[in-house]
Chain A
Amino acid sequence: MPITRREAAAAVATFILPLEAQGPAEPPRLGFFTPNGAKLIEIIANILIPPDEFPGAGDAGAAYYIDKQMQGPYKDKLDMWRAGLFTFSSVVKHHYQGRSFLTLSPDEQKQFIDSIAQGSVPALRGIFDFIYDLTLQGYFGSPEHGGNWQRTSWKMLRIEDVMDGDGHAAHGGAVKGGAK
């Protein structure tokens, strides 16, 4: 079941971050996606990396990562993205009697993603691979890029202590005398 941004933020906080300052109390402002566009990506991202004891990729901000990068390094992929999403919507409508992806049941949504992941719709292979890659980037990359809220994936992997995605040393500075 799709959850709202607010629920997701709450879930993230409940699951993994009782002590630390929470992530966005309000969802960050979207610059590229419409609210429904972001919701679509959230659902897909949560199918690719679903919630369990740890939030899924959609819950941890993958759509906001993509939203931010589409206005930055991926600017030149905008046409490809729009064309891909248009085809995606058309294929969904064709298969589900005119319905949109957002109105499908969670099971139907997962079945549809499974079928395009297996390559059953060649026209959607490119956009699927792109969304997949961006979702992994948004989930596993540094939070500074708009995803991986509250370092969800780094907590899941138990590597928070050794990661510092913001370019600042997380090791307390130089250790004299060399490697330990």
Chain B
Amino acid sequence: MKLDPVDAVVVGAGAGGGVVAYVLARAGFRVVLLERGREIPFGESGHDELRSQRTTVLGNAFGPDDGYYARQIRSPLTGRFYRVKPSEGAYNNVAACVGGGTASYGAMAWRFHPKDFQMLSSYGLVAGSTLADWPITYGDLEPYYERAEHEIGVSGKAGANPFEGPRKKGYPMPPLPYNQEAARLAAGARKLGWHPFPIPMAINSVERDGRAGCIACPHCVGFGCEVDAKNGTQNTVIPRAVKTGNCTLLTEAVAKEILTDAAGKAAGVAYYHQGRLQEQPARVVVVACSATETPRLLLNSKSKAHPSGLGNANDWVGRNLQGHAYSGAYGLFEDEIFDGTGPAARVALCDFNHGNKGIAGGAMLANEFIRLPYLFARSVRPPRMPRYGLEFKKYVRDNYKRSAGVKGPVQEMPLWDNRVEVDPKVTDHWGIPVAAITTRRHPRDAETGRFIAERAAEWLKASGARETWLQVANLNGTGGQHQAGTCRMGKDAKTSVTNPHGRLHGADNVYVADGSVLVTNGGFNPSLTIMALAFRTGERIVRDWRKA
């Protein structure tokens, strides 16, 4: 059914889509915000480790549903595609719900380092990689970082990170205080001459905006927040957008394709809702479905004017998929440094994001979120330790409160062949071709990973760990989290998918507003950068498409 036209359809109510919908609605645009998932209230998702966003052995609390979705993943061993369900690790799930990943994320709210925008200029060509500079600088994005920090709500200590780019304004809330583990690690880092500071978090450290401050429970990353102190788009910009009266949030609405007219301009979006195919005409279409689902939707939007998919005239859509080559170390301590205080990830340092000899990039290092019991038993064990039996049980019992982990999101070298395609032979519940993902890592990522892991071990030792061991990312694949890069922004349409404002090359009323546009993925969790870019893109759409 063809619906009444609106000014803009935004597909995806996650970090990027929620922000753009808000900016447009506030400027008076009539907006329809489509989300394939639902709102997930805390009472539904709860604090169940086995059904969280991090450990999905009994299912995905934040979607998507195993019964309706699938992906094709190319096996690094056989080179062949195989079918994967959303709750399986290889799926590379983000989430499918209002708020997207921000409904259950760990909520680290990082600004990228200025050099993260200038990777090619900083390090030169890296053989085999499509490493490039962003078409914008840290300075271009700074005002939008500030806006994101204040609109979403970030707690932190301005000026505490000597490696951060210049900022005009401080954080709207003071940082969460160090817990016992963080205090110990901060002292250890200072002993080494490093520069520890409280992690900027999109978590209320004090009451704000009518919602409580953090109660320091141990269930944070992978869960909703029981007192709603964690700030995502689902409890900030999306309700504000709806409140303007200009934005309709439609959940369980599954986008099929972006419709185009004879001239190749977007005419609207076709989507399934309650079993029916609907057509929503719009002047502007914003795609914000994540770096996997956005290229899928563009590639599934074929027409006479766009025979290889929307924005894909030069075969760049879906290319350069990146995640992070997470690497780090665990340490065991004599005394119990665990005090049960969440979110636990509280201290970080940026001494190794750049300037590492012989290495392109690096990573921020931070202490880990609380390792819940199953995850601890499953994965936190020195190599000498058997994985079962009395000795193992005693190890778990004695060391659960004596362990700490430090790791970092190691910046990856983008690869042309790391890509999202669509497989016309394999479809989801609605008959829409699924994403088919091929990834591996560049050998440099493992070198960087090892370097970062060694620094993590050094940090743990200086903080009193009696035993440490490394965990270094392998080369088999990437994109398990923090997916980025598949619709790279750039000045040249031949080597990018969008322009520097997120507008699609080849269809000037289509914009991309999610991790897809990131040229490189920084050595940080990317959510605040995605939000900042979405504020910037939203503003640009208002400027370019305001009614005469």
Is B204 an interface residue when CB atoms closer than 8 A count as contact?
yes
Q: Mark B23-61, 1 if CB is under 8 A from A, else 0.
A: 000000000000000000011111111100000011100
Nearest residue (CB) in A for B208 is A178
Identify 4 new A-B residue pairs, CB closer than 8 A, beyond the known A137-B57, A145-B58.
A50-B393, A141-B374, A165-B47, A169-B226
Nearest residue (CB) in B for A135 is B388
User: Which bucket holds chain A's interface residue count?
Assistant: 35 or more
Cβ of B365 to closest chain A Cβ, rounded Å:
22
Q: Mark B3-28, 1 if CB is under 8 A from A, else 0.
A: 00000000000000000000000000
- Does A177 lie within 8 Å of B206, measured CB to CB? yes
Cβ of B490 to closest chain A Cβ, rounded Å:
42
Cβ of B208 to closest chain A Cβ, rounded Å:
9
Q: How far is the CA of A142 from the CA of B49 in the complex (A)?
A: 7
Known: A140-B373, A158-B401, A174-B215. A50 touches B389 (CB 8 A): yes
Q: Which residues of A contact B (CB under 8 A)?
A: 47-50, 52, 54, 69, 72-73, 117, 132-133, 136-137, 139-142, 144-145, 153-154, 156-159, 161-169, 171, 173-180
Nearest residue (CB) in B for A49 is B393
16 contacts between A and B (CB under 8 A): A47-B388, A73-B59, A133-B378, A136-B378, A137-B58, A139-B377, A141-B49, A157-B396, A157-B401, A166-B48, A167-B47, A176-B212, A178-B204, A178-B214, A179-B177, A180-B216
Nearest residue (CB) in B for A157 is B400
Known: A157-B373, A165-B49. A175 touches B212 (CB 8 A): yes
Which listed residue, B42, B48, B49, B388, touches A49 by the CB 8 Å rule? B388
Report the 3 A-B pairs with minimum CB-CB distance, sorted nearest first.
A167-B46, A178-B213, A140-B373
Cβ of B57 to closest chain A Cβ, rounded Å:
6
Known: A157-B400, A167-B43, A178-B204. A140 touches B214 (CB 8 A): no
Q: How far is the CA of A175 from the CA of B213 in the complex (A)?
A: 7
- Does A157 lie within 8 Å of B397, measured CB to CB? yes
Interface secondary structure of A, over-half rule: loop
Is B205 an interface residue when CB atoms closer than 8 A count as contact?
yes
Residues of A contacting B207 with CB < 8 Å? 176-178
- Does B50 lie within 8 Å of A142, measured CB to CB? yes
Q: How far is the CA of A29 from the CA of B371 in the complex (A)?
A: 32
Residues of B contacting A166 with CB < 8 Å? 46, 48
- Does B400 lie within 8 Å of A159, measured CB to CB? yes
Q: How far is the CA of A52 from the CA of B397 in the complex (A)?
A: 11
Is B176 an interface residue when CB atoms closer than 8 A count as contact?
yes
Residue in A136, A154, A180 whose Cβ sees the most chain B Cβ within 10 Å: A136
Known: A156-B397, A157-B397. A132 touches B387 (CB 8 A): yes
- Does A178 lie within 8 Å of B206, measured CB to CB? yes
Is B143 an interface residue when CB atoms closer than 8 A count as contact?
no
Q: Mark B195-232, 1 if CB is under 8 A from A, else 0.
A: 00000000011110000111111110000001101000
- Does A144 lie within 8 Å of B48, measured CB to CB? yes
Is B382 an interface residue when CB atoms closer than 8 A count as contact?
no
Residues of A contacting B217 with CB < 8 Å? 162, 171
Is B2 an interface residue when CB atoms closer than 8 A count as contact?
no
- Does B50 lie within 8 Å of A137, measured CB to CB? yes
Q: How far is the CA of A162 from the CA of B393 in the complex (A)?
A: 21
- Does A159 lie within 8 Å of B340, measured CB to CB? yes
Cβ of B53 to closest chain A Cβ, rounded Å:
15
- Does A176 lie within 8 Å of B213, measured CB to CB? yes
User: Which bucket holds chain B's interface residue count?
Assistant: 35 or more
Cβ of A138 to closest chain B Cβ, rounded Å:
9
Cβ of A169 to closest chain B Cβ, rounded Å:
5
Cβ of B401 to closest chain A Cβ, rounded Å:
7
- Does A136 lie within 8 Å of B177, measured CB to CB? no
Known: A132-B388, A145-B58. A52 touches B213 (CB 8 A): no
Nearest residue (CB) in A for B50 is A141
Known: A50-B393, A157-B400, A178-B213. A136 touches B46 (CB 8 A): no
Nearest residue (CB) in B for A153 is B373
- Does B213 lie within 8 Å of A145, measured CB to CB? no
Cβ of A80 to closest chain B Cβ, rounded Å:
14
Is B390 an interface residue when CB atoms closer than 8 A count as contact?
yes
Cβ of A58 to closest chain B Cβ, rounded Å:
12
Cβ of A166 to closest chain B Cβ, rounded Å:
7
Q: How far is the CA of A163 from the CA of B372 in the complex (A)?
A: 9
Residues of B contacting A140 with CB < 8 Å? 49, 373-374, 376-377
Residues 371-426 of B at the A interface (beta carbon under 8 Å): 373-374, 376-378, 387-390, 392-394, 396-397, 400-401
Cβ of A154 to closest chain B Cβ, rounded Å:
7
Nearest residue (CB) in B for A141 is B50
- Does A165 lie within 8 Å of B401, measured CB to CB? no
Residues of B contacting A141 with CB < 8 Å? 48-50, 58, 373-374
Cβ of B439 to closest chain A Cβ, rounded Å:
24
Nearest residue (CB) in B for A175 is B215
Q: How far is the CA of A36 from the CA of B229 in the complex (A)?
A: 48
Cβ of A32 to closest chain B Cβ, rounded Å:
15
Q: How far is the CA of A171 from the CA of B388 in the complex (A)?
A: 33
- Does A179 lie within 8 Å of B214, measured CB to CB? yes
Cβ of A130 to closest chain B Cβ, rounded Å:
11
Residues of A contacting B377 with CB < 8 Å? 136, 139-140
Known: A137-B374, A140-B377, A157-B401. A179 touches B215 (CB 8 A): yes
Residues of B contacting A47 with CB < 8 Å? 388-389
Residue in B45, B176, B177, B217 whose Cβ sees the most chain A Cβ within 10 Å: B217
Q: How far is the CA of A177 from the CA of B213 in the complex (A)?
A: 6
Q: How far is the CA of A50 from the CA of B219 in the complex (A)?
A: 28
Q: How far is the CA of A142 from the CA of B61 in the complex (A)?
A: 15
Nearest residue (CB) in A for B346 is A179
